[in-house]
Structure formats: structure tokens, C-alpha cells
């Protein structure tokens, strides 16, 4: 009857060793949500909070573009990316690598009204 206990202990040890090997590098990518439109609004949130400061790293950016007169561009150190273009309506997802510094997000056609900024550090 000791054999089943030994098998269980062996399985537990193998699973623990696999978890130790994969470690933090396999951690889930943090998600940011951008929204532009339908009116003249643009925002970037992490969970329920507006983004004002983030840690350096890789993020999954999900942008919901609700109007064909807007776009969503994000830019900062080493990054200048148009996530959704003018005339696009829908949702796009992309990974972004954020380094230390200041980042801006903007609707290009309405940049004086529709923009935001956050720091990474």
C-alpha cells in the first residue's frame, strides 16, 4: 500500500520542480485598456483606475475604438505605435514594452482635445 503514496509524492515533486523552473518569467502579462470615442474622449486604464504611473515591462494593450473619426496612438521611449487608425471601429490588441520615461496617448486628428500622459519608472 506504500506504492500509491510514493507515486503521489513523486507527482507532487515533479509539479513543484516544473513550477520552479518556469518561475516568474511565465507570469501573466499585465493588461491595459484604452478607449477612444464615441465622443471626444480618450482614456487608458489598468483595471478600474486611470493610468498615471506604471512599472517598466511588457503590457497587453487592448484598445476599443468606438468611432471612425478617431485613432489611438501611444508613444514614448522606444515606442511610437498607432494601435487603431482613423476609420477603424472595433477592438485591437497588441503587446507594448514600456521603458522608464514619459508616455503619451493621443487621437491624432483631435490631439488638442484628446490626449493623456503617464510615467513609467
Phi, psi (deg, nearest 5) at residue 61: -105, 120
With a cut of 70, list the residues of the chain below it in pLDDT.
Answer: 1-28
Question: Taking the model in full, what pTM does it have?
Answer: 0.77
The residue ranges of every structural domain in the chain are 25-120
Give Cβ neighbours of residue 61 (< 8 Å, ≥ 6 apart). 31, 32, 33, 34, 74, 83, 93, 94, 95, 96
pLDDT on residue 22: 40
Class of domain 25-120 as given by CATH = mainly beta
Amino acid at each position: 500500500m506504500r506504492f500509491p503514496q510514493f507515486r503521489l509524492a513523486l507527482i507532487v515533486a515533479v509539479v513543484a520542480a516544473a513550477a520552479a523552473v518556469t518561475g516568474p518569467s511565465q507570469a501573466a502579462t499585465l493588461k491595459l485598456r484604452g478607449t477612444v470615442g464615441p465622443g471626444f474622449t480618450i482614456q487608458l486604464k489598468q483595471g478600474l483606475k486611470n493610468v498615471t504611473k506604471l512599472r517598466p515591462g511588457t503590457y497587453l494593450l487592448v484598445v476599443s475604438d468606438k468611432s471612425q473619426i478617431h485613432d489611438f496612438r501611444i508613444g514614448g521611449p522606444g515606442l511610437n505605435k498607432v494601435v487603431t487608425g482613423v476609420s477603424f471601429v472595433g477592438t485591437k490588441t497588441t503587446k507594448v514594452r514600456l521603458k522608464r520615461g514619459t508616455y503619451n496617448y493621443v487621437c491624432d486628428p483631435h490631439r488638442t482635445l484628446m490626449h493623456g500622459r503617464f510615467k513609467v519608472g
